[in-house]
Amino acid sequence: MKNYKLFPKVTLWILMIVGIVATAMFFLGGSEGSLEVAGDFLDIPKFTNVLLYWIYALVVLVILVTFGFVIWKWFDTLKVNKKSAFASVGVVLAAVGLCALCWFLGSPEKIEILGYEGTDNVGNMARMSDAIMYLVYILTASTIVALVWGVIYTKVKK
């Protein structure tokens, strides 16, 4: 039982130390040259890839742990209350549908970015940028409507 309580603490400390080291390498590791962007010269940190790969690893870890716990909790709920478990699947399917709708609303046309000459601002990447913006707009508006409706509903209910 004692090892069970120790594991999260050790994991947290390891993740924190590696994160601090990667961040220190990025900010204190010097420069490997400069890049001209819109007439300005910007230094390129020597250990940019180390920090980026660490961030990618953390994002993947968070996604895996989150989905793992969600699936585990869903099976626990399925044992107790099947109706509630399948209602949560409906919510997930609605969220996937909303993401698909936002994807199809997005445009694959080129996004003009000052000083950027690459090809990552057209096609699917441009459509994904639009989809994310539309999703944020819809979720923000939904949150505001839910807050206002909650206040009105509470006042009327009293």
Contact, 43 vs 34, CB < 8 A? Answer: yes
Per DSSP, helices labelled H in the chain are 2-28, 48-80, 82-105, 124-157
**Per-residue pLDDT for 6 more than 90?**
no
pLDDT at 75: 92
* Residue recorded with tokens 């895996």: 64
Decide: 53 and 23 in contact? Cβ < 8 Å: no
pLDDT in tens, 91-139: 889 999 999 999 999 888 888 888 777 777 788 888 998 999 999 999 9
The band of 3, judged by pLDDT with boundaries at 50, 70 and 90, is confident
Return the HEC string of 108-125. CCCCCCCCCCCCCCCCHH
Residue 101 is which amino acid?
A: L
Higher pLDDT, 53 or 119: 53
Backbone angles phi and psi of 36, in degrees to 5: -85, 120
Entry pTM: 0.58
Is the CB of residue 109 less than 8 Å from the CB of residue 122? Answer: yes
pLDDT score, position 93: 93
Q: Using CA atoms, how far apart are residues 134 and 130, in angstroms rounded to an integer?
A: 6
150 or 115, higher pLDDT: 150
Give the pLDDT of residue 143: 97
More confident residue, 2 or 23: 23
Task: Taking residues 4-13, report their average pLDDT.
Answer: 86
Contact (CB, 8 A) for 53 and 26: no
